Amino acid sequence: MLRKRKEPKPRRKILETLLRDMQGTAEQKLVLFEKLRAAGGFAHEHPADLAKAEKMLRDFAAMEKK
């Protein structure tokens, strides 16, 4: 009998995790993102993904202030 190969799960994006799975305002999430980034928590992430996540968090935080 042939065994079915396990397919690797796709990696979740940083932004997806921050926006969907964490509670708090966008400003709070941005502060947490900056702390994690400074501590080297995203060392293995692609710089373009990090820049995109930071930009979107900043945009969301600006929209919440209005």
For the stretch 26-49, pLDDT in tens is: 899 899 889 988 998 888 888 898
For Cα atoms 43, 44, 46, give the angle at the middle one, nearest 5 degrees: 100
Greatest extent of the chain over all pairs of C-alpha atoms, in Å: 62
Question: How far, in Å, CA of 30 to CA of 55, rounded?
Answer: 10
The string of pLDDT tens digits covering residues 2-32 is 778 888 777 777 767 777 888 888 899 899 8
Residue 19 is classified by DSSP as: I
Backbone angles phi, psi at 45, to 5 degrees: -90, 155
pLDDT at 55: 92
Question: How far, in Å, CA of 10 to CA of 47, rounded?
Answer: 18
Q: Tokens 């979740």 label which residue? A: 12
- Domain layout of the chain by residue ranges: 14-65
66 vs 40, higher pLDDT? 40
